[in-house]
Amino acid sequence: MRKRLGKRILSTVLAAVLAVSSISIPAKASELDSYQDEVIATSTDAEELGEVSEEEISEAAEAPEAEAVVEDEEVVYDENGEVYYRRYFIDEVEVIDFGDNEVPIEGEEESVDMAEEADYARDYSVYHNDYSYNKMTSTQKKVADQIFAYGNKLLTTTTNVTTTSLGYYVSSVITVPTSWSSTDMSQMLKATLYQRPEFYFLQIGIVYQSGKMYIKVYDAFVNGSTRMSYTNTIFNRVEGWVNEIKNANFESQWKTELACHDKVVRSVTYKDGTYSQSIFSSVYQGYTVCAGYAKLYAMLANACGIPTVSVSGSVPGGNHAWNESQLYGNWLVVDCTWDDPDSGSSVKYNYFNKTQAQVNSAGGTRTILSCMKSWIPSTPYTYNSTAFYPKGIYVARCTYEGASMGASVDYNQYSLSQMEYQWQATCDGGNTWKLVQDWTRGNNWVDVKPYARGNCIVVCRIRPVGYSSMVQQLNAGFEYNYYIKDICQLPYTGKGGGFLLGFSSFDNPNNSYQYEILILDLSLYAQGKDAWVFNSGRNKINGTTLWTVWQPQYGYYLTMYRLYDGYGNLLQELCYGFQNI
């Protein structure tokens, strides 16, 4: 066992600052938008999480737990007595200054076995988004690269973690500008780890000297083999959730994002613990605070193709964490923590896909961590939340009578009745446009009767009611080359009986069309025999309808109606069955 100095001794040689604060009560948000019914209907089911006690983790790693410092939890209730949201947050940032005389020394006072590195094929990059990293300054990137390199080393190998001469488990040295203060270092670490939630074993705490920073590692994960076991368990579970969402094959990004939101809210309980700043709490233990909610949501959303960043900042009265996700080119706020009710209550959506202005109005102005401000997308602050996303036109029916089609739209926070549609069509390459339906509220389906044969194009223009400038449009093409208008098959009551067969075309230019009726005997066909038992031959006629009478034997038959142009080219054929039994 390693020798460890007690907290009482450490307090005489170290200056430690533990920042802990709580979140104030924001004003009640507006009622849920009109899409709530759809949201609830598409929510994913909860999944039970295995839980491990902090004592078990401590024993497994043979290292004591860090003591969590908390303030009283405060809960805001709605008019029905249900939890509206919680205002409670523990910000576990610990800053320890070693000064000039006390330097962390790796592997001198206590020897550390460096386990052989292992090659693991898991792709952890899917769980984060590089938007924030790409916004960093060159100096910040140099520091972030060192943090990422060390985090990836512990994530993908069984390397054991070194200790300092005072007993802290820390990373290898991270070189920082000598001009950086301890606040600069701690903020940089916090902001960086929010963008790499997969580094669950790193604390948001530093040991530093001028120009050097060491990241604290949770005691439970210093042993490489133990850590790898936890890594496999955690990411197997996360991959399971991701696959569950992907396999649902949602028809829109919005519903995929919704499933990620619901999976977090339904799978995690709001409760503080030692690892609440890490996804270890939300994934492995099943309980966490806002940091754990935000980091887990970012992992699921990014892995499901929804670009997402985690944000650390404050609301009136305390610190908080949330997310911003990119949907259809726009960044919006997602706050799973404040959407999480008590166990058994319905998931709330008051903070799902909102603009920064909306969440500021509902819960007080949010301020982003100073060093992170330039990393976070700016579009949410100006984005108009009335946006919607047209997906395509669905052609349900296309016959000689025309086509029936509907517009498929991701309404976001709208309902069908809040949208209006205008339909136009052209069948001559855009030279002539016909208005099929002028602006009509709530009617996203239309019947199109083409005015000419050929390749037709339909345009559907869409806008929210009352927003004439917010027009988006969909285009769809379909081929309208129908020539046969009607067919007739009915018993013949004239001399000899049998069946009266006939078919007509829409037109017959210069009486040049050729009309043909053939009959196939299915019984003969099943025996492999020559089954064509009737052929009217190709007939040119005056008019548009060919009639014939046929007297069949008992059996089952198919009738083939064929129409040719004057050169013998097949224009169209239709096949119908009938029986004579």
Angstrom distance (rounded) from CA 402 to CA 449? 4
pLDDT in the model for residue 93: 58
- In order, the DSSP letters of 104-171 are --TTSSS----PPP------GGGG--SHHHHHS-HHHHHHHHHHHHHHHHHHHS-PPPPB-TTS-BB-
Q: Which residues contact 309 (CB under 8 A, 6 or more apart)?
A: 129, 131, 132, 194, 195, 298, 323, 324, 375, 376, 377
Q: Which residues contact 38 (CB under 8 A, 6 or more apart)?
A: none
Angstrom distance (rounded) from CA 207 to CA 510? 95
- In order, the DSSP letters of 357-382 are HHHHHHH---EE-GGGGGGS-SGGGT
Cβ atoms < 10 Å from Cβ of 510: 6
Q: How far is CA 392 from CA 254, 408, 410, 460, 462, in A?
A: 15, 5, 10, 10, 12
pLDDT in the model for residue 399: 73
pLDDT in the model for residue 284: 95
Q: Is 360 left (phi over 0), alpha (psi -120 to 50) or beta?
A: alpha
Angstrom distance (rounded) from CA 127 to CA 303? 5
Angstrom distance (rounded) from CA 432 to CA 452? 11
Strands 16-19 and 74-77: unpaired
Element (H, E) at 406: strand 402-410
Q: If you search the block for the tokens 């959506």, which residue do you land on?
A: 349
Q: Helix (H) and strand (E) counts for the chain?
A: 12, 29
pLDDT in the model for residue 442: 86
Q: Which two tokens stand for residue 432?
A: 């002539």
Strands 514-521 and 539-540: antiparallel
Q: Is 175 helix (H, G, I), strand (E, B) or coil?
A: strand
Q: Which two tokens stand for residue 121?
A: 């094929």
CA angle 350–354–355, rounded 5-degree value: 145
Angstrom distance (rounded) from CA 400 to CA 485? 7
Q: In this structure, are residues 492 and 499 in contact, taking their beta carbons and an 8 Å threshold?
A: yes
How far from chain centre, in Å, is Cα 544?
56
φ, ψ for residue 69 (rounded to 5)? -105, 125
CA angle 400–405–410, rounded 5-degree value: 170
Cβ atoms < 10 Å from Cβ of 453: 16
Q: Which two tokens stand for residue 212?
A: 């050097």
Q: In this structure, are residues 563 and 514 in contact, taking their beta carbons and an 8 Å threshold?
A: yes
Strands 555-564 and 269-270: unpaired
**Residues 421-431: b if buried by 16+ CB within 10 A, e if exposed:** bbbbbbbeeee
> Average pLDDT for consecutive 10-residue bins of the chain (581 residues)?
29 27 27 26 31 41 35 46 46 60 41 40 91 93 95 94 78 92 90 94 88 92 94 96 93 84 93 92 93 96 95 87 84 91 74 84 87 77 54 79 84 74 87 90 87 82 76 82 85 82 92 96 94 94 93 90 93 88 76
Q: Is 34 helix (H, G, I), strand (E, B) or coil?
A: coil
How far from chain centre, in Å, is Cα 420?
27
In sequence order, the β-bridge partners of residue 16 are: 96
The angle that helices 182-194 and 138-156 make with each other, rounded to 10 degrees, is 60
Q: Which two tokens stand for residue 350?
A: 């008051």
How far from chain centre, in Å, is Cα 516?
55
Angstrom distance (rounded) from CA 275 to CA 357? 31
Q: Which residues contact 227 (CB under 8 A, 6 or more apart)?
A: 154, 158, 201, 221
Among 458, 384, 465, smallest CA distance to 421 is for 465
Q: End-to-end alpha-carbon separation of the chain, Å?
A: 94
Angstrom distance (rounded) from CA 13 to CA 1? 23
Q: Is 543 left (phi over 0), alpha (psi -120 to 50) or beta?
A: left
pLDDT in the model for residue 130: 93
Q: Is 412 helix (H, G, I), strand (E, B) or coil?
A: coil
Angstrom distance (rounded) from CA 396 to CA 393? 9
Q: Is 440 helix (H, G, I), strand (E, B) or coil?
A: strand
